[in-house]
Structure formats: structure tokens, C-alpha cells
């Protein structure tokens, strides 16, 4: 049997390594990715600010496993014929794990794709070089998006490149999903770092050198777009059942409702509404859902009953440069209005989580190489349920 995993982000790599350790000696496991590297997306804002590249070769993660790596961008998915199309030809599969992740939404506002930059893996090196050039002449950088990505980017760039004139523009409040205390700390920290915080601004379009809002124009030398994420259209175009955001609908075993031979994990997966709350996007859900999809698939192949996903995300964390951050704990009712940790302690916790994520993948890879017959409980899922 041939198992293909599409996508080598956090979810795809986790699923691949878990499948290698659980079924790889009995079945063929192939990982398909558009490029040769695993990109640490949670560190891309650091790379943009001039810190070391946030990536590592997939070959190093897969070394010693039975996994075959195929590099190529998927151009077509035929779920009825069970094959995928690549520039070099096609691959046929018996079981498929969709883990293509998400990317910055470039289509929601006119002009974004033409005039804005993003924190995406392939372009971050060029973005970092451009930011360095702009810093040498006190250039104006406007970041759009008051979610965690935009906040982290604004704080990191302000600390690393204080010559830049940075604005953070958001339609609502910065960190709106977090508690009032967390929002106040974010606002105070950004302003102290010299970031101009513009909240309540609805950007209508992006033009060359300027954002156009309802009643004003905001000039920039570089616009960094961080306002929302979208998933690849590939799964919807293939005829799989999706939600309004284009995410494929899965059950609690992460099996695609409209095609039982397909599983999905990470940002591309959405629980069918009949199974409860939405899955959060990001690393906090990508690793445990990747591990769970692999466990469910292994159980199916063994003729066992797969367990239901039980995902807990009791905290959210974000960095505010290298010496500050916010750890937002959930309240008893499940809302993000629980206790808040800030300052150097929060920065240390966030750094520990980022470092631990990379370490968890490396440990998972070693476990797959040393114990090819082991199909045990998902260590990685347990350790990352609380990330």
C-alpha cells in the first residue's frame, strides 16, 4: 500500500515521521513537498529581522527513516482515481494525508498581491535584505494585521531595526482575541518600541506606496501583509467537502468526510460542525493533528478502532521582541481571558516552546529510525497538545 503525505509543514512532517515509525516497514510512505526545506513558520518574523534562517533540510529530518521525499508542487488532485499530478508526472496513492497548510490571504483586498510583501518562507530572505536597506535610510514600513503574526513582526522589526519607521494597521484592536490586560500590554510595548499603532482602520485597497482606507491614505516604502490566512484551493477544486474558508471537513479521526481514504491535518483541516468547535490554526494544532492523523490511519490499516481527537489549547503565546512577550492562558470557560504572563518570563517561555517544537520533530525522527516497529501512543501529540 502506498501512503502519500502532501505538505511538509509542522503537520505534514509530524504525520510522515509517525507513519514511518508505525507502518513504514509494511507500507510505502512518501512525502511530497514543493521545496527541499522544512520551514519554521513560527520564526519567520525573526528571520525577516535578520536572525538566522528559519528552515532546515527535510533530508536531515528524514535521515534514517524509510520515507521517500518527492520535491514538486502539486498541480492537480484526482481523488476518484487516487492520484496527484506533479510537473514531473503523477503519483498514485492508496491512502492520502492532506497537510498543505495555509498561506497569507492575498486576495481579500485589491492590490495586496501586487504591492505588498508577506512572511512566507521562500521570500523572507529577500524581505530581510530589503528591510535592511530601508533601515539605512529610515524607511517607512507598514504592517497590516493585528493578529499574532502582525504583532510579532512589528515588535521584532522595531527592536532589531530601530531606524525603521514602523506602523501596525489593524481593522480592530491589536490582539483582539486576547484578554484586555494582554491587549494593553501589547499596545504599551509596541508604542514604547516606537511602533505607530493604528487601530480601527479598514483598508480598502493597496496601491503603489500607499494603503487606501475609508477616509485616509497611509504612505509606505514597504507594506507587510499579515491580515488573515487562506488555504490552497486544490482540495475544493478536487471536489472534497469544504467549509466556507475552503478547509476540508474531517471527523474526529481526521478522516475526510467525503472521501474515507483521505485524512487531513493542520490548517487545511476543519472539524465537521457536528463534531464540535473549530480547530485553532497554527503550530499549536498542526503537530498534534499531524500525529493524530497518522495514528488514525495506522489504526485503520491494522483493523483497529481509531480514537477521537482530543485537542487542548490552554494557552496562546507571542513574542514582543527578544526580551518581552505575552503568554495568554485560557479561563475556566474556555475563553482567552485567563491569567496573563508578560515580560522576560513570557519571552523565555515562548522561546522554549519554539525551541521545543524543533526538538520534538528531531526526536520524532530519531524515534522513527530506531524503533521502526513501534506504534505506540503519540508522544509528540501529548507534548504539543498544550503548545
- Give pLDDT tens digits for 66-76: 999 999 999 99
C-alpha grid cell, residue 225: 501583509
SS3 252: coil
Predicted pLDDT at 126: 95
Predicted pLDDT at 273: 80
Residues 258, 364 within the same domain: yes
Q: Would the CA dihedral through 284, 33, 22, 97 be positive or negative? A: positive
Residues 98, 188 within the same domain: no
SS3 36: coil
Q: pLDDT-based confidence at 184, cuts 50/70/90?
A: very high
Place of cell 521502526: 372
Calpha distance 124→261 (Å, rounded): 36
CB atoms within 10 A of CB 230: 16
Calpha distance 377→288 (Å, rounded): 12
Residues 140, 280 within the same domain: no
- Predicted TM-score (pTM) of this structure: 0.90
Q: Residue 215 carries which DSSP code?
A: S
In terms of Cα–Cα distance, which of 342, 382, 387 is closest to 363? Answer: 382
> Residue 91's beta-bridge partner residues?
84
> Residue 340's beta-bridge partner residues?
328
Is residue 65, in this structure, part of any structural domain at all? yes
| Buried residues in 12-39 as b, exposed as e (16+ CB within 10 A) | bbbbbbbbbbbbbeebebbbbbbeebbb
Is residue 77, in this structure, part of any structural domain at all? yes
CB atoms within 10 A of CB 301: 18
Residues 259, 212 within the same domain: no
Residues 124, 236 within the same domain: no
Q: Please provide the distance, in angstroms rounded to a whole number, between the alpha carbons at the two ends of the chain.
A: 33
The helix or strand, by DSSP H or E, that contains position 344, with its residue range, turns out to be helix 343-370
User: Of 188, 210, 225, which residue is a domain's last?
Assistant: 225
Predicted pLDDT at 334: 76
- For 260, residues 6+ apart whose C-beta sits below 8 A from its C-beta are none
Residues 28, 72 within the same domain: yes
Indicate the range of 43-47, 318-322, 381-385 predicted with least confidence.
Answer: 381-385
CB atoms within 10 A of CB 215: 7
| Number of domains the chain is built from | 2
Q: pLDDT-based confidence at 181, cuts 50/70/90?
A: very high
User: Of 191, 225, 259, which residue is a domain's last?
Assistant: 225
Calpha distance 42→46 (Å, rounded): 9
pLDDT (tens digit per residue) in 185-240: 999 999 999 999 999 999 999 999 999 998 899 999 999 999 988 999 999 999 99
Q: Is there a contact between 35 and 382 (Cβ–Cβ < 8 Å)?
A: no
Q: Is there a contact between 106 and 112 (Cβ–Cβ < 8 Å)?
A: yes
Calpha distance 287→290 (Å, rounded): 5
Q: What percent of the chain has a predicted confidence (pLDDT) above 70?
A: 94
Q: Mean pLDDT across the chain, nearest whole number?
A: 90
Is residue 121, in this structure, part of any structural domain at all? yes
C-alpha grid cell, residue 253: 479521526
CB atoms within 10 A of CB 209: 14
Q: Average pLDDT in the 251-279 region?
A: 88
pLDDT (tens digit per residue) in 111-163: 999 999 999 877 899 999 999 999 999 999 999 999 999 999 999 999 999 99
Strand locations in 231-305, DSSP E? 248-250, 262-264, 269-271
Residues 93, 121 within the same domain: no
pLDDT (tens digit per residue) in 267-323: 999 988 877 667 778 888 899 999 999 999 999 999 999 898 888 777 899 999 999
SS3 38: strand
Domain that holds residue 274: 2-102+231-313+352-384
CB atoms within 10 A of CB 329: 16
Is residue 325, in this structure, part of any structural domain at all? no
In terms of Cα–Cα distance, which of 18, 98, 66 is closest to 292? Answer: 18
Predicted pLDDT at 208: 97
Q: pLDDT-based confidence at 368, cuts 50/70/90?
A: low
Residues 307, 235 within the same domain: yes
User: Of 225, 247, 271, which residue is a domain's last?
Assistant: 225
Greater confidence (332 vs 127) lies with 127
Q: Is the pLDDT of residue 378 over 50?
A: no
The CATH number of residue 133's host domain is 3.50.50.60
Amino acid at each position: 500500500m502506498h501512503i502519500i503525505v502532501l505538505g511538509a509543514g509542522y503537520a505534514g512532517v509530524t504525520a510522515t515521521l509517525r507513519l514511518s515509525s508505525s507502518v513504514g516497514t509494511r507500507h510505502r510512505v512518501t512525502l511530497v513537498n514543493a521545496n527541499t526545506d522544512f520551514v519554521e513558520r513560527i520564526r519567520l518574523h525573526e528571520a525577516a529581522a535578520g536572525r538566522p534562517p528559519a528552515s532546515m533540510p527535510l533530508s536531515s529530518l528524514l535521515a534514517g527513516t524509510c520515507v521517500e521525499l518527492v520535491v514538486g508542487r502539486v498541480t492537480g488532485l484526482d481523488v476518484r482515481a487516487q492520484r496527484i499530478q506533479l510537473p514531473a508526472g503523477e503519483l498514485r496513492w492508496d491512502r492520502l494525508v492532506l497537510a498543505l497548510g495555509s498561506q497569507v490571504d492575498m486576495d481579500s483586498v485589491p492590490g495586496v498581491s501586487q504591492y505588498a510583501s508577506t512572511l512566507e518562507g521562500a521570500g523572507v530572505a529577500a524581505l530581510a535584505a530589503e528591510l535592511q536597506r530601508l533601515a539605512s535610510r529610515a524607511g517607512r514600513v507598514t504592517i497590516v494585521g493585528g493578529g499574532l503574526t502582525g504583532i510579532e513582526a512589528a515588535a521584532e522589526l522595531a527592536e532589531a531595526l530601530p531606524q525603521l519607521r514602523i506602523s501596525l494597521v489593524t481593522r480592530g484592536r491589536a490582539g483582539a482575541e486576547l484578554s484586555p490586560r494582554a491587549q494593553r500590554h501589547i499596545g504599551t510595548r509596541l508604542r514604547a518600541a516606537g511602533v505607530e499603532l493604528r487601530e480601527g482602520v479598514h483598508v480598502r485597497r493597496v496601491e503603489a506606496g500607499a494603503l487606501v482606507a475609508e477616509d485616509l491614505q497611509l504612505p509606505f516604502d514597504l507594506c507587510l501583509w499579515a491580515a488573515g490566512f487562506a488555504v490552497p484551493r486544490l482540495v475544493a477544486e478536487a471536489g472534497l467537502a469544504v467549509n466556507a474558508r475552503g478547509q476540508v471537513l474531517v471527523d474526529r479521526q481526521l478522516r475526510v468526510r467525503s472521501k474515507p481514504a483521505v485524512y487531513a491535518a493542520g490548517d487545511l483541516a476543519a472539524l465537521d460542525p457536528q463534531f464540535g468547535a473549530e480547530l485553532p490554526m497554527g503550530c499549536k494544532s498542526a503537530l498534534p493533528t499531524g500525529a493524530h492523523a497518522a495514528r488514525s490511519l495506522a489504526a485503520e490499516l491494522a483493523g483497529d478502532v481509531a480514537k477521537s481527537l482530543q485537542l487542548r489549547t490552554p494557552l496562546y503565546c507571542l513574542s514582543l521582541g527578544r526580551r518581552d512577550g505575552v503568554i495568554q492562558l485560557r479561563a475556566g470557560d474556555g475563553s482567552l481571558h485567563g491569567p496573563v504572563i508578560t515580560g522576560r518570563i513570557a519571552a523565555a517561555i515562548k522561546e522554549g516552546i519554539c525551541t521545543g517544537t524543533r526538538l520534538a520533530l528531531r526526536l520524532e525522527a530519531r524515534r522513527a529510525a530506531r524503533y521502526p516497529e513501534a506504534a505506540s501512543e503519540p508522544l509528540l501529540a501529548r507534548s504539543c497538545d498544550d503548545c
